[in-house]
Amino acid sequence: MERPVPVPDAATAPYWAAANEGRFVMPRCTQCGRWHFYPRALCPHCSSEKLEWSDCSGRGTVYSYTVVHRAPSPAFAAELPYVVAIVEVEEGPRLMSSVVNCAPETVRIGMKVRAAFRRVADDTQLPVFEPA
Amino acid sequence: MKLNAAIAGVGTSRVGQVADRSALQLQADAAQAALADAGLRMTDIDGLLTTPVRVEHWNMPCGVVANHLGVKASYLSTVDVAGASGCAMIHQAAMAVATGQASAVLCVAGQNLLTHGSRAKAVKSMAEGGSAHPQFEVPYGPIVPSLYALVAQRHMHEFGTTPGQMAEVAVTLRRHASLNPNAHKRELITVSDVLKSRMITTPLHILDCAIVSDGAAAAIVTSIERARDLKKRPVRLLGQGYGLRHSHIGEHVDLMSTGAVDSGRGAFKSAGLTPTDIDVAQIYDCFTITVIIELEDLGFCKKGEGGQFVEGGRIGIGGELPVTTHGGLLSGGHPGLGGGFFHVVEAVRQLRGEAAERQVRDAEVALVHGNGGVISIHCTIILGRG
C-alpha cells in the first residue's frame, strides 16, 4: 500500500513545485508584508489578495510534537515510531511536518530545526525538518 | 433573548456493539424512545434535524432519515458542525420552533460505527476524513489522536500538566459509565491502568482516547407551552454560543486558547449566568486533554489549571463540578457525530432527576459543550429546568 501523497490544486501548486525542486516557500502578503500558512485566497492578517510565494529561510523551532506509535494505515506501519510535529518557522507561520534524522525520543519542544526534503513519489517531495 | 423552546423528550438506542441494527434502525430506536418519553407520536413531528454518518453515503442525510422515519417535515436540515453538532441541533431546533417554522422538531443522530468496520478501519477513515489537512497534514502520517496529542504536549510544556492528570479524566468518566446501564465500557479503571495502557501517540495512551461504538440518540424540541402539557418536565434552552478559531491544528495561531472561549462566553451571556451557576457540565471528551482544555476555556478554572482541576474527585459525581456523568465518549459510547448528542440527553436526565445512581443532587442548570475538528469548532448550550 502506498502512502498518501499531496494532490496539488491551483492554490497550492507553487508550494509543491518548489518542494519538488528542494525549495521551501510560503505565501507572503505584498500589502502588509506578513507571512501565512496554510495557503489561502486572502491574507488572514489584512484580507488583501496581493499574495506571492517567497523563499523561506527554512529555519524554525519545534512548537509541539508527538511520537506516533499507531499507524493511520499500513502504508506508515514500517516507519513506526515516527515524529509528527508542528514547527514554527523563523518567518512566523507554523506548519505540520516531521522531524527526521534523529531518534524520535530526542525531539523536544523548542528544539532548533532546519528544512530538508523527503521524496515520497517520483514527482513529490515533502518538506520535513531535521535538527539544526 | 431566550427562545420559546424546550426539550420535551429524549431517548437513546442500545449502545456498544449492536450488531443487529443498521444506522437507520439505531436512529429509529432512539427516535421512538424520545417520542415515548415525551408522550408524542411520529405524526406529531413536523421538523427533523440529523447529522451525516460515516458508515453509509447518504446524499441528503435529513431527507434519508425523515423518509425512513415517516416524518412529514415542514422544516428539515442536516447539521454538520462536526462534534459540536449535538449541541447545535438543539439550538437550531429551538430557532425553528421559536420562529414557527415547525411545532415539534425531532433531532436524531447515530450509526453502527463499530459493527460497520473494525477499529482499524475507523482509525484509517478518521485519519483521512478531513480532521487532518489532506495536503499539508495527512502525508506526514498523523492519526486523529496525534492531532490532539500535539495540543496535549504543548499544554504539558506550558503549564506542567501531567499524564496522570489526564488519566484522572479517563478514570472519573469510566466510574460514571459504570453507573450507566447503557454505557459501552463499564469496568472500573485506575490511573495506573491508563498510564500502563498501550501508547498510541505520545503523550496519549489508548485509554486517553474515545472508544468506537454503535448507537444513536434523539431529542424532541417544542414550545415551552406545549412541553408543559406533555409527559415529562420540560428542559429549557437558556443560552448558546458558537466559536471557531482555526480549521486545522497545524495552522492554529495559539494552541492554548480555543473557540470554546467564544462559545462559552456567548452561552453564558445569552443565559445571563456564569460558570458558578452550573450544577453539572457535560463536556465533550474525545480525548482526556480535551476535557482539561475546555474546562479552562469555558471559565471553570484559570488557563493552565485544568490539570489540577480534574484531580481529587472535583469532576466526579458528588464533586464540586460533576462532568460528563454518563461516561462520555471515553467510556459511555462514541458513534461518530452522534456521540456528542448523548451529552445533551444526559443533561436532560440530570435536570429531571432521572439519572438514578448518577444523579447530581439538586441539578437545576446544566452546561453541554460540543467540539469538532481538532478543538476547532465549538457549540455550548446551557439548559435549565422548565
| pLDDT value, residue B133 | 93
Residues B11, A123: Cα–Cα separation, whole Å: 53
Residue A70 lies in a domain: yes
Residue A4 lies in a domain: no
- Sheet containing strand B280-283, strands side by side: B75-78, B47-50, B104-112, B214-222, B6-12, B235-244, B377-385, B365-372, B280-283
Residue range(s) defining the domain that contains residue B112: 6-116+212-228
Q: Are strands B235-244 and B377-385 parallel, antiparallel or unpaired?
A: antiparallel
Contacts of A37 in chain B (CB under 8 A): 136, 251
Residue A79 lies in a domain: yes
- For B232-324, strand residue ranges (E) read 235-244, 280-283
| pLDDT value, residue B2 | 84
The rounded radius of gyration (Å) of the Cα atoms in chain A is 15
Number of domains chain B contains:
1
Quick one: average pLDDT of B282-293? Answer: 98
Residues B351, B360: Cα–Cα separation, whole Å: 9
The mean predicted confidence, pLDDT, of chain B is: 95
pLDDT digits (tens, 9 = 90+) for B218-262: 999 999 999 999 999 999 999 999 999 988 998 877 777 899 999
Residues B203, B187: Cα–Cα separation, whole Å: 23
Quick one: average pLDDT of B133-151? Answer: 96
| pLDDT value, residue B338 | 87
Q: Residue B155: pLDDT band by 50, 70, 90 thresholds?
A: very high
Residues B85, B89: Cα–Cα separation, whole Å: 6
Number of domains chain A contains:
1
Partner A contacted by B141 (CB < 8 A): yes
Partner A contacted by B143 (CB < 8 A): yes
Q: Residue B1: pLDDT band by 50, 70, 90 thresholds?
A: low
Residues A109, A38: Cα–Cα separation, whole Å: 21
Q: How big is the A-B interface in CB pairs under 8 Å?
A: 114
Quick one: average pLDDT of B81-110? Answer: 97
Residue A81 lies in a domain: yes
| pLDDT value, residue B257 | 87
Residue B38 lies in a domain: yes
Residues B202, A67: C-beta atoms closer than 8 Å: yes
Residue B31 lies in a domain: yes
Quick one: average pLDDT of B276-305? Answer: 98
Q: Are strands B214-222 and B235-244 parallel, antiparallel or unpaired?
A: unpaired
Residue B154 lies in a domain: no
pLDDT digits (tens, 9 = 90+) for B200-230: 999 999 999 999 999 999 999 999 999 999 9
Residues A71, B201: C-beta atoms closer than 8 Å: no
Residues B136, A96: C-beta atoms closer than 8 Å: yes
C-alpha cell at B366: 446544566
| pLDDT value, residue A1 | 64
Residue B201 lies in a domain: no
Residues A65, B252: C-beta atoms closer than 8 Å: no
Residue B132 lies in a domain: no
Residues B250, A86: C-beta atoms closer than 8 Å: yes
Chain centre distance of CA B156:
25
The rounded radius of gyration (Å) of the Cα atoms in chain B is 19
Residue A8 lies in a domain: no
Residues B77, B66: Cα–Cα separation, whole Å: 10
Residues A4, B128: C-beta atoms closer than 8 Å: yes
pLDDT higher than threshold 80 for residue B339:
yes
| pLDDT value, residue B130 | 78
Residues B381, B263: Cα–Cα separation, whole Å: 9
Residue B271 lies in a domain: no
Q: Residue B191: pLDDT band by 50, 70, 90 thresholds?
A: very high
Question: Which of B124, B133, B249 shows the shortest C-beta gap to A72?
Answer: B124
Contacts of B255 in chain A (CB under 8 A): 63-64, 86
Per-residue pLDDT of chain A in tens (132 residues, 90 and over written 9): 678 999 999 999 999 999 999 999 999 999 999 999 999 899 999 999 999 999 999 999 999 999 999 999 999 999 999 999 999 999 999 999 999 999 999 999 999 999 999 999 999 999 999 999
Residue A5 lies in a domain: no
Residue A17 lies in a domain: yes
Residues B5, B19: Cα–Cα separation, whole Å: 36
Q: Say which CATH number the domain at B65 has.
A: 3.40.47.10
CA-CA distances (angstroms) from residue B341 to B17, B104, B287, B336? Answer: 18, 18, 16, 10
For A70-82, give one letter per residue: b (16+ CB within 10 A) or e.
bbbbeebeeeebb
| pLDDT value, residue B255 | 74
Residue A96 lies in a domain: yes
pLDDT higher than threshold 80 for residue B119:
no
The answer to whether A67 touches A104, Cβ cutoff 8 Å, is yes
Residue B183 lies in a domain: no
pLDDT higher than threshold 90 for residue B326:
yes
Residue range(s) defining the domain that contains residue A82: 13-131
pLDDT higher than threshold 90 for residue B103:
yes
| pLDDT value, residue A47 | 96
Give the closest-approach CA distance of A74 to chain B in angstroms. 9
Which residues of chain A are at the B interface, by a Cβ-Cβ cutoff of 8 Å? 3-9, 12, 16, 37-38, 63-73, 76, 79, 82, 84-86, 93-98, 109, 120, 126
- Which among B21, B16, B41 has a CA at the least distance from the CA of B31? B41
Q: Residue B158: pLDDT band by 50, 70, 90 thresholds?
A: very high
Residue B50 lies in a domain: yes
Reported pTM: 0.96
